[in-house]
């Protein structure tokens, strides 16, 4: 088997905003779980282009958005010049003053070292502070992962080694949180089938946006081969009447620092 090195994902922030607005639109009701209050200090971890950071700020809370991708932070700063956004790593960020809450939508499935992220979140919170998060849970985008694995393995590429995602079960993630000094007061794992924009090319756009780790190291010729092979495999389950629907499965967690 050929082991490709794992490329750093490149984020096209404009494409993300144009075609994948559902990422933060679905995150809006997570804000109800966060329930931000005026004057609270809140960190938006993995803030992307800043839409939910702004919603938190509008409640009167003092919010900072952080993201690993400089492309996202640059766009967030353009979108909301009055808010503070920093490039930072979930596994090792530091805060100047302890926080009332850490909020995170659709980001932590990119952090395979969940222990390190939980340790950073824990040290950033006040005692009694809350961690409110949603991300991909066990079984998330399973059909897509399987189709990518089989198309890549057909050309002798070790696809699991390229997988950048972490999709834990409730039991697994709650255990990690408890081991590091959190009480888990809410956990939910649920499906959220999500129809993509752009009809027939929707899944190719999704793969280019979110699954670049799998295909970024391939030649143009190989990419031309892989995407149709993945589409072919997924069509019977994820394509209907001209639209693609992604098999998202989310985990939601609320945990309190003890
Ligand atoms: C998600 O939001 O679950 C997700 C997004 C992109 C890639 C993988 C998962």
Cα–ligand 1 centroid distance for 47 (angstroms): 14
d(CA 8, CA 11): 10
d(CA 65, CA 46): 7
Number of domains the chain is built from: 1
Contact 37, 60 (CB under 8 A): yes
In a domain, 223, yes or no: yes
Does 7 score more than 70 pLDDT?
Answer: no
pLDDT tens-digit series, residues 22-55: 777 888 889 999 999 999 999 999 999 999 999 9
In a domain, 81, yes or no: yes
In a domain, 6, yes or no: no
Contact 9, 164 (CB under 8 A): yes
In a domain, 3, yes or no: no
- Residue 213 Rama label (left phi>0; alpha psi -120 to 50; beta): alpha
In a domain, 161, yes or no: yes
In a domain, 76, yes or no: yes
d(CA 44, CA 105): 8
CATH number of the domain that 61 lies in?
3.40.50.150
Contact 241, 193 (CB under 8 A): no
pLDDT tens-digit series, residues 156-209: 999 999 999 999 999 999 999 999 999 999 999 999 999 999 999 999 999 988
Cα–ligand 1 centroid distance for 136 (angstroms): 6
In a domain, 74, yes or no: yes
Q: According to the model, what pLDDT value does residue 9 have?
A: 60
Q: According to the model, what pLDDT value does residue 19 have?
A: 64
- Residue 184 sits in which domain range? 13-257
Who has greater pLDDT, 138 or 6?
138
Task: Give residue for tokens 């969940």.
Answer: 114
Q: Which atom of ligand 1 is nearest to the CA of 136?
A: 3
Q: Extract the tokens encoding 117.
A: 């992220």
| Residues whose beta carbon lies within 6 Å of some atom of ligand 1 | 106, 109, 136, 140-141, 165, 210, 248
Q: According to the model, what pLDDT value does residue 3 have?
A: 31
Q: Choose the weakest-confidence range: 24-33, 101-110, 121-130, 171-180.
A: 24-33
In a domain, 8, yes or no: no
Q: Choose the weakest-confidence range: 1-5, 46-50, 111-115, 124-128.
A: 1-5
Cα–ligand 1 centroid distance for 246 (angstroms): 10
């Amino acid at each position: 088997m050929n082991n490709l090195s794992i490329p750093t994902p490149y984020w096209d922030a404009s494409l993300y905003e144009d075609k994948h607005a559902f990422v933060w639109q679905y995150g809006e009701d997570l804000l109800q779980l966060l329930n931000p209050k005026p004057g609270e200090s809140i960190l938006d971890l993995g803030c992307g282009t800043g839409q939910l950071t702004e919603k938190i700020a509008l409640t009167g809370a003092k919010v900072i958005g952080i993201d690993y991708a400089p492309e996202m932070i640059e766009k967030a700063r353009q979108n909301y010049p009055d808010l503070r956004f920093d490039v930072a790593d979930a596994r090792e960020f530091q805060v100047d003053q302890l926080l009332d809450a850490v909020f995170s939508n659709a980001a932590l499935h990119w952090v395979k070292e969940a222990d390190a992220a939980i340790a950073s979140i824990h040290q950033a919170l006040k005692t009694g502070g809350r961690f409110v998060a949603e991300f991909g849970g066990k079984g998330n985008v399973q059909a897509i992962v399987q189709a990518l694995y089989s198309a890549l393995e057909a050309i002798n590429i070790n696809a699991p080694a390229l997988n950048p995602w972490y999709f834990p079960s409730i039991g697994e993630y709650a255990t990690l949180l408890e081991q590091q000094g959190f009480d888990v007061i809410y956990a939910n794992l649920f499906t959220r089938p999500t129809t993509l924009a752009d009809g027939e090319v929707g899944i190719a756009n999704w793969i280019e946006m979110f699954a670049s780790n799998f295909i970024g190291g391939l030649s143009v010729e190989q990419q031309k081969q892989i995407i149709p092979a993945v589409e072919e495999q997924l069509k019977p389950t994820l394509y209907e009447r001209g639209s693609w629907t992604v098999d998202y499965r989310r985990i939601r967690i609320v945990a309190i620092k003890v």
